[in-house]
């Protein structure tokens, strides 16, 4: 080995861990001590929990600079004593450790209580089972609003990455289902931060019931004509046309007024849209329900786009006809494609939140697909599931903290 190689072998690093009561003067004082000792700082990390802070410094050393090492330790000890802080030192060999693999972000949301601790334990066990390494854990919520939210940064090895990721996804969704907690996994990095649009389903997502059923009941259509939520039936358009034909001659304004009075918005709907808008996201609703109701919800919530089935009108009365093509599972995906082209964004920049198999193709076409209190039929398509029945969970999946949500939604 040449002289340069021997020199690199001798290089070491000093790791200094400083902790104590949080103070605004802590970090500046420590950095001033390092500057006084002419230390070469190569990495720094700080985190705060309640009133306690921990600061970790990585400082480059060399066997030829024994005096500098002594000076660094002395200055840090003097600083810690003056600030009433604790300091620990460790010296390690400066080896370049390769970190192959890809990093994913796992977000969990759970009510505060014993169940949330068990949920955390189970999540960590699933990550370990599929050889994931947790690099950081960040708290997104203080728990003051009755629930906690944590964001895990997890590295998966390149070897057998796809299979391990798929198994981990299945395991995490199963945990969320059992614990009735919200959970999602997505690729970290630029694509995670570059989300620009959130697309919602209408029925059982933005509102708490089926939009078609609300309108037809308001028009006097019998409940026996309700279309099943559980199946993406192939003859959906034909059955919808039959129901729409029964509206012929009814006054649109009267039916719509009664239908809108029956709408109940899902908890968090107003807050999530208001926050997303302030952050510059585009928002849309794509529904198999009536365009009339989708447009009204768009206006009430302040959404940017709304799509739904158009029941044709003559004057102020329903004609009894349905504009084709009807909005079904395939059409919802096509409408999402149209939105992407209009906004000049990619599928990776979209979050889709939906309920039921009719949203399946739309969900599979988004960068992050989130099932909102959905049947199990879409488990193979989604990387997130919300059980809490509050749409504010969508914000946490974007990495937005409780403090940011409160400031943005005020």
Q: Which residues of the chain have pLDDT under 50?
A: 1-9, 224-225, 230-232, 377
Concatenate the DSSP letters of all residues of 314-358 into one string: ETTEEEEEE-SS---HHHHHHHHHHHHHHHT--GGGEEEEE-SGG
pTM over 0.85: no
Structural domain spans, the chain = 11-93, 102-192, 197-379
Torsion of the alpha carbons at 369, 373, 379 and 381, rounded to the nearest 10 = -20
Q: What is the pLDDT of residues 132-177, one digit of tens each?
A: 999 888 888 876 667 788 899 999 988 888 888 889 988 998 888 8
Cβ distance 339 to 349 under 8 Å?
Answer: no
197-379 carries CATH number 3.40.50.1000: yes
CB 185 within 8 A of CB 382: no
Separation of alpha carbons 177 and 94, rounded Å: 44
* 3-state DSSP of 195-264: CCEEEECHHHHHECCCHHHHHHHHCCCCHHHCCCCCCCCCCHHHHHHHHHHCCCCCEHHHHHHHHHHCCC
Q: Which fold has domain 102-192?
A: Alpha-Beta Plaits (3.30.70)
Q: Do domains 102-192 and 197-379 have the same CATH topology?
A: no
265 forms beta bridges with: 207
How far, in Å, CA of 293 to CA of 202, rounded? Answer: 9
Distance CA 393, CA 387 (A): 9
The string of pLDDT tens digits covering residues 378-398 is 555 566 778 777 888 888 888
- What is the predicted pLDDT for the residue at 127? 92
Q: What share of the chain is helix, strand, coil (3-state, %, to 5)?
A: 45, 30, 30
Which pLDDT belongs to residue 63? Answer: 57
Do residues 130 and 166 lie in contact, with contact meaning Cβ atoms separated by under 8 Å? no
CA distance 185 to 122: 15
- With contact defined as beta carbons under 8 Å apart, do 165 and 129 qualify? no
Q: What is the pLDDT of residue 377?
A: 47
CATH 3.30.70.260 fits 11-93, yes or no: yes
Residue position matching structure tokens 């952050």? 279
């Amino acid at each position: 080995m040449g002289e340069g190689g021997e020199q690199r072998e001798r290089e070491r690093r000093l790791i200094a861990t400083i902790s104590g009561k949080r103070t605004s003067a802590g970090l500046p004082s420590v950095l001033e001590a390092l500057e006084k000792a002419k230390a070469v700082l190569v990495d720094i990390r700080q985190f705060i929990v309640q009133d306690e802070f921990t600061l970790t410094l990585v400082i480059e050393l060399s066997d030829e600079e024994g005096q500098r090492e002594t000076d660094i330790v002395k200055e840090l000890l003097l600083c810690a004593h003056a600030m009433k802080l604790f300091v620990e030192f460790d010296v390690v060999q400066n080896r370049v450790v390769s970190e192959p693999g890809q990093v994913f972000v796992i977000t969990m949301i759970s009510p505060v209580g014993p169940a949330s601790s068990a949920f955390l334990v189970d999540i960590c066990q699933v990550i370990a089972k599929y050889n994931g390494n947790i690099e950081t854990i960040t708290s997104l919520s203080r728990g003051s609003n009755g629930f906690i939210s944590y964001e895990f940064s997890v590295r998966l090895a390149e070897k057998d990455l796809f299979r391990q990721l798929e198994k981990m996804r299945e395991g995490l969704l199963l945990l969320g289902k059992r614990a009735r907690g919200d959970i999602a996994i997505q690729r970290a990095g630029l694509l995670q931060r570059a989300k620009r649009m959130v697309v919602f389903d209408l029925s059982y997502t933005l509102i708490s019931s089926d939009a078609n059923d609300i309108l037809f009941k308001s028009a006097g259509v019998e409940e026996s004509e309700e279309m099943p939520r559980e199946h993406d039936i192939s003859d959906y358009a034909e059955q919808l046309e039959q129901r729409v034909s029964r509206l012929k001659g009814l006054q649109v304004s009267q039916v719509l007024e009664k239908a809108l009075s029956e709408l109940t918005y899902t908890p968090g709907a107003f807050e999530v849209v208001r926050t997303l808008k302030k952050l510059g996201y585009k928002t849309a609703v794509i529904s198999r329900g009536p365009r009339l109701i989708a447009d009204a919800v768009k206006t009430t919530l302040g959404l940017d786009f709304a799509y739904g089935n158009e029941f044709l009108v003559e004057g102020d009365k329903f004609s009894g006809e349905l504009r084709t093509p009807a909005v079904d599972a395939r059409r919802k995906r096509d409408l999402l494609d149209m939105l992407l082209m209009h906004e000049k964004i990619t599928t990776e920049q979209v979050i889709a939140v939906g309920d039921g198999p009719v949203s399946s193709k739309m969900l599979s076409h988004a960068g992050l697909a989130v099932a909102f209190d959905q049947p199990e039929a879409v488990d193979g398509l989604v990387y997130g599931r919300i059980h809490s029945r509050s749409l504010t969970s969508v914000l946490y999946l974007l990495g937005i903290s409780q403090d940011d949500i409160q400031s943005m939604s005020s």
